[in-house]
């Protein structure tokens, strides 16, 4: 019984808190900062998103100077399931968000006016540039999107 309680407590510590993303928060999220910002859009229903999020996490853990925001396009009513899913992926530290309303076109437009809704979607915002791409990215594609020279 004590072991089960300990595992439950550990799971809660590792479960991220998802902030609710509305149009106002979306405007702030896409504002350029001092460092490169990467916004990764995903959904519980996206079969390719886990691999995409893991690849981004690997880049961030390997020292890429990135501010990472992970945004679930599921509505806030699914925040508990989304948080548990992210906890199971064991991603490193990043800010985590969930749409206030499921698949809101208004929030999507605030994040990326060029986006058609396909997932996963990555938005990269530098102090002086912005670019985005849909789909699971290879290591080379990640480097291109982030403006990193291939080795």
Mean of pLDDT values over 67-73: 96
pLDDT-based confidence at 151, cuts 50/70/90? low
Asked, for residue 3, whether it belongs to a domain, the answer is no
pLDDT, averaged across the chain: 89
| Residue 138 covered by a domain | yes
- Bigger pLDDT: 28 vs 62: 28
Q: Is the pLDDT of residue 5 over 60?
A: no
Residue 149 three-state SS: coil
Say if residue 10's pLDDT is above 50: no
Per the structure, the count of domains in the chain is: 1
Q: Which two tokens stand for residue 134?
A: 């849909």
pLDDT higher than 80, residue 1: no
Structure confidence at residue 133 (pLDDT):
96
Higher pLDDT, 146 or 71: 71
CATH code of the domain containing 26: 3.40.30.10
User: In this predicted model, what pLDDT tens digit does every residue of 76-98 receive, in sequence order?
Assistant: 999 999 999 999 999 988 899 99
- Residue 114 in domain: yes
* Residue 58 maps to a domain: yes
Looking at the domain assignment, is residue 69 inside a domain? yes
- pTM for the structure as a whole: 0.88
Amino acid 62: pLDDT: 87
Residue 139: domain span: 15-146
7 lies in a domain? no
Does the residue 10 lie in any domain?
no
> Would residue 8 count as lying in a domain?
no
- Does the pLDDT of residue 12 top 90, yes or no? no
| The pLDDT of residue 65 | 86
The secondary structure of 19-87, three-state, reads EEECHHHHHHHCCCCCCEEEEEEECCCCCCHHHHHHHHHHHHHCCCCEEEEEEEEEEHHHHHHHHHHHH
- Nearest Cα to Cα of residue 96 among 33, 14, 20, 11: 20
User: Other CB atoms closer than 10 Å to residue 104's CB: what's the count?
Assistant: 17
């Amino acid at each position: 019984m004590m072991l089960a309680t300990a595992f439950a407590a550990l799971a809660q510590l590792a479960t991220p808190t998802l902030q609710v993303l509305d149009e106002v928060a979306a405007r702030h999220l896409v504002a350029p900062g001092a460092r490169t910002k990467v916004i990764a859009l995903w959904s519980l229903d996206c079969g390719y998103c886990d691999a995409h999020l893991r690849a981004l996490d690997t880049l961030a853990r390997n020292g890429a100077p990135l501010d990472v925001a992970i945004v679930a396009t599921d509505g806030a009513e699914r925040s508990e399931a989304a948080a548990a899913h992210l906890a199971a992926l064991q991603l490193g530290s990043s800010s985590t968000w969930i749409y206030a309303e499921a698949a809101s076109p208004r929030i999507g437009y605030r994040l990326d006016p060029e986006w058609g809704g396909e997932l996963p979607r990555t938005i990269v915002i530098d102090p002086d540039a912005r670019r985005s791409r849909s789909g699971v990215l290879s290591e080379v594609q990640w480097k291109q999107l982030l403006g990193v020279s291939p080795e």
